[in-house]
Amino acid sequence: MRVLIVGGGGREHGIAWKLAKSPKVEKLYCAPGNAGIAEVAECVNIGVMEFESLVAFAKEKRIDLTVVAPDDPLAAGAVDAFEAAGLRAFGPRKNAAVLEGSKAFSKDLMKKYGIPTAAYETFDSADKALSYLETADMPIVLKADGLALGKGVLICSTLEEAKAGVRSLMLDKQFGSAGNRIVIEEFMTGREVSVLSFVDGRTIRIMTSAQDHKRAKDGDKGLNTGGMGTFSPSPFYTDEIHAFCQEHIYQPTVDAMRAEGREFKGVIFFGLMLTEKGPRVLEYNARFGDPETQVVLPRMKNDLVDVFEACIDETLDQVELEFEDNAAVCVVLASEGYPEHYEKGYKISGLEKFAGADGYYVFHAGTKFNENGDVITNGGRVLGVTALGSSLAAARANAYKAAEWVQFENQYMRRDIGKAIDEA
C-alpha cells in the first residue's frame, strides 16, 4: 500500500513510525513532514492546507490511503477534498470535524444529548458577555469558539480578569476570528485524562488513557501550551470511570453525531476531567493528540493500517484494540520561551543514540535539515522523547535519562512530567 500522511509534527512522526512498521505499507509519504519523519517516510513540500496540491500529489503517486492528522485541515474539509477526488482518506469530514472546530457546537451537542460537561452560555456579543459576568461565580472559564492552537482558553479568578479576557478575545481579537463567539463556562476541578478512540461512524473503540501537561512550567505554572509531556496509561482512569464513560460519554457522542447527520469517522480524543461529581467532558478533539500519540501508539499492538481501514470501511466492530501491559512517558524538549517568543535554527546533537535503543523513541515535532544536512530546531516544541517501562515510574526514569542524550541550545523541558503518578 502507498500511504500519505498530512502533517509535520510530533504526532505525525508517531503515526508515521507506527505505519512504517506495518507489513502492508510499501511506500510512505508525509506532507510536509520534518527531519525525523524523513527517516521513515519521503517528505514532500506541500502545506497541510494546500488541498489541491495534496490531492494532485495523491493522484499522481497513486496513494491508497491518506491520513489527515492536524485539526486545521480536518476542520477545513481536507477529507472531503480527497473523497471528492475518489481517494480514500482517514479522518472526519468537515461536517463532523466541527466537533472540535466549534466549542459552541460541541457544548450544544452535549447539552442536547445529556453528555456530562460543565454548565455554559454562548455569546456573540462582548456587551452581553460582559454583563453576564457581573452575576457569574468566579473562577470562570472563557473559551474562544474556534480553533486557537489549544490556547484559546482563559481561566479567570476575578471579575476584572474575566472582563479583560472577554475584551481580549472578542474586541482585540487575540485569536482572530476564533473569538467572534465565545463560550463562558463553569470552572471545574479534578484530574484531567485524555482518552483517544477510533470511530467508524457507529462503533467506537477506546485506545488506552493518557495524561498531558499543558502548562509550560513545572507545577502546572506558566502559559498553556500544545502539551509539554504525557504519560500512559493514567492510573486515575479506573475501570469504574471507564464503564461510566462508555455508557454516558463515548457511545452517546458517536450516536449524537450520527443523529445530527454528522457521522464521525476517525479519531475522537475526549479531554475529560474527573470531578467529584464524576467524569465531565472538557473538550473534544477530532484527531490524535499531540503529545498523547507519542505515548499511546508505542504501546499499541495492532497494525495501524488495519484500524484506519476498518474506520473507513465501517468494520470497526470486528477489530479489538490491544495494548502492551506496560507504560510510556514522553518528555517534550522545547525551545526556551515557548509558547511565546523563542529562537530557532540550533543544531541538535545526540539523536543517533536512539537508533537501536529498544523502548526509546525520539519523535520530532519542530525540526528540519539545514543546508549541510544537520538536524536543526524549527519550532517551539522541538522533540518528544518517549520511553517505555514496566511501570509508569520506570518509564518516567527512562524518559528523563534519554532526554539527556539530546542537546541543543536554548533547550527547555519540564522536570515533573508524570510526577502526578506518585499520588496514585
The residues that touch ligand GLY, with contacts defined as CB under 6 A, are 150, 212, 227, 285, 289-290, 292
Which residues lie below 8 Å from residue 267, measured CB to CB, with a gap of 6+? 91, 196, 197, 198, 199, 285, 286, 287, 288
Considering all CA atoms of the chain, what is the largest pairwise distance in Å, rounded to the nearest integer? 61
Residues in the chain: 424
CB of 63 to ligand GLY, least distance (A): 25
Member of 41, 79, 98, 118 binding ligand AMP (CB under 6 A):
118
CB of 164 to ligand AMP, least distance (A): 17
List the Cα angle 202/208/212 in 5-degree steps: 115
Write the DSSP string, 258-306: HHTT---EEEEEEEEEEETTEEEEEEEESS--TTTHHHHGGGB-S-HHH
- SS3 letters across 85-102: CCCCEECCCHHHHHHHHC
Where do the H-state alpha helices sit in 167-232?
none
Rg (CA), the chain: 21
CB of 151 to ligand AMP, least distance (A): 8
Which residue, 196, 238, 234, is CA-closest to 18?
196
Member of 89, 153, 216, 329 binding ligand AMP (CB under 6 A):
153
CB of 130 to ligand GLY, least distance (A): 29
Member of 35, 58, 133, 141 binding ligand AMP (CB under 6 A):
141
Member of 12, 80, 260, 283 binding ligand AMP (CB under 6 A):
283
CB of 417 to ligand GLY, least distance (A): 13
CB of 101 to ligand GLY, least distance (A): 13
Q: Phi and psi for 403 in degrees, rounded to 5?
A: -60, -25
Q: Which region, judged by CB under 6 A, interacts with ligand AMP, from 11-19, 179-187, 367-375, 415-423?
A: 179-187
Terminal CA-CA length for the chain? 43
CB of 281 to ligand AMP, least distance (A): 9
Decide whether 161 or 192 has the Cβ nearer to ligand GLY: 192
299 binds, among ligand GLY, ligand AMP, none (CB under 5 to 8 A by kind): none
195 part of the interface to ligand AMP, by CB under 6 A: no
Which residue, 201, 154, 199, 160, is CA-closest to 174?
154
**From residue 124, how far is each of 127, 144, 164, 381 by CA, in Å?**
9, 11, 16, 33
| Three-state DSSP state, 130 | helix
Instruction: Say which DSSP state 4 is in.
Output: E
99 part of the interface to ligand AMP, by CB under 6 A: no
Decide whether 145 or 212 has the Cβ nearer to ligand GLY: 212
Contact letters for ligand AMP, residues 241-280 (x by CB under 6 A): ------------------------------x---------
292 binds, among ligand AMP, ligand GLY, none (CB under 5 to 8 A by kind): ligand GLY
Q: Which region, judged by CB under 6 A, interacts with ligand AMP, from 8-16, 126-134, 186-194, 373-381?
A: 186-194
Decide whether 60 or 276 has the Cβ nearer to ligand AMP: 276
Which residue, 195, 196, 206, 314, is CA-closest to 265?
314
CB of 141 to ligand AMP, least distance (A): 4
Decide whether 283 or 309 has the Cβ nearer to ligand GLY: 283
Decide whether 16 or 144 has the Cβ nearer to ligand AMP: 144
Decide whether 66 or 285 has the Cβ nearer to ligand GLY: 285
Position with the least CB separation from ligand AMP: 283
171: buried, middle or exposed (CB in 10 Å: 19+, 13-18, 0-12)? exposed
Strand partners, 265: 200
185 part of the interface to ligand AMP, by CB under 6 A: yes
Q: Is the distance from CB of 298 to CB of 186 less than 8 angstroms?
A: no
Member of 105, 132, 187, 412 binding ligand AMP (CB under 6 A):
187
Binding residues (CB under 6 A) for ligand AMP: these are 118, 141, 143, 150, 153, 155, 185-188, 192, 214, 271, 282-283
